[in-house]
Every structure is written in structure tokens, then in C-alpha cells.
């Protein structure tokens, strides 16, 4: 009977020892997982910082795009004024040269040049280095 008790105690001891080893392994795994979690949180914070920096760059780029669009509109207005002024000057030159042309006919001539040039641009055939079509 005593040997049965000792055998039972040995079995219980082995079982408890096995549980303790398993607990120790699980504890080590838990510690490793917590370390990985902390490492992952560090990476997450770094990524969030990068995202914030990238968002700042995106906002700055959008501001630059808006400013560029404003400049393009201003340039278009300036070019329109230049074109209209050149048409008026051409009208005056024609009249000074003795070619009595109406301002509307000179404007139509300039408009025709504009339309032909725009068509070439739209077709991809515009050559800015060549004066003839």
C-alpha cells in the first residue's frame, strides 16, 4: 500500500512537473509575445509618424498645385491681353500702311491664326519653331 502511495505521489509529481514546465514555456512565449507587441507598437508609431509627415507633404503639394493653377489663370489673362493688344496694333499698322481694314476684319484674321494653331496643338502637330502651318 505504501508503494502504491509512493507510486501515486511520483505520478502526481511528474504530472505537476510537466504542468510547471508547460507553464514555464507558456510564460516564456507570453514574454516573447509581449516583447513583439512592444516592438510592433514602436513600428506602428514610426509608421504613423511617416504618415503624418507624408500628409504634410501632400498638403504642401496641394497648396503648390493651387498656387500654380492661380498662376496659370493669371498667365492666361496676361496672354489674352497681349493677343488683344497685338490685334489692335496690327489694325493700326495696317491703317498706317494704307491698308484700310476694319478692326473686326483684323480680329477675324488673328482669330483664324489662333484657331489653326489650336487645332495643330490639339492634333499634336504644333511646331513652335515654324511660322508657317
The string of pLDDT tens digits covering residues 47-94 is 999 999 999 999 999 999 999 999 999 999 999 999 999 999 999 999
Q: Quick check: 131 pLDDT over 80?
A: no
Interval 18-40 mean pLDDT:
94
The string of pLDDT tens digits covering residues 88-116 is 999 999 999 999 999 999 999 999 999 99
Categorize the per-residue pLDDT at 129 as very low, low, confident or very high, splitting at 50, 70 and 90.
confident
Check residue 133 and give its pLDDT: 57
Q: What is the DSSP string of 21-84?
A: HHHHHHHHHHHHHHHHHHHHHHHHHHHHHHHHHHHHHHHHHHHHHHHHHHHHHHHHHHHHHHHH
Check residue 2 and give its pLDDT: 79
Question: What residues does each domain of the chain span?
Answer: 2-101
Whether this prediction's pTM lies above 0.85 is answered by: no
Amino acid at each position: 500500500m505504501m508503494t502504491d502511495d509512493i507510486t501515486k505521489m511520483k505520478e502526481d509529481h511528474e504530472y505537476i512537473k510537466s504542468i510547471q514546465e508547460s507553464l514555464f514555456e507558456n510564460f516564456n512565449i507570453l514574454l516573447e509575445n509581449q516583447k513583439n507587441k512592444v516592438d510592433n507598437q514602436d513600428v506602428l508609431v514610426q509608421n504613423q509618424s511617416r504618415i503624418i509627415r507624408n500628409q504634410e507633404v501632400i498638403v504642401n503639394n496641394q497648396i503648390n498645385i493651387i498656387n500654380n493653377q492661380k498662376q496659370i489663370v493669371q498667365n492666361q489673362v496676361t496672354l489674352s491681353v497681349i493677343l488683344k493688344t497685338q490685334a489692335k496694333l496690327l489694325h493700326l499698322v495696317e491703317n498706317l500702311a494704307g491698308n484700310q481694314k476694319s478692326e473686326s476684319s483684323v480680329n477675324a484674321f488673328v482669330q483664324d491664326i489662333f484657331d489653326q494653331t489650336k487645332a495643330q496643338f490639339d492634333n499634336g502637330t504644333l511646331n513652335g519653331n515654324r511660322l508657317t502651318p
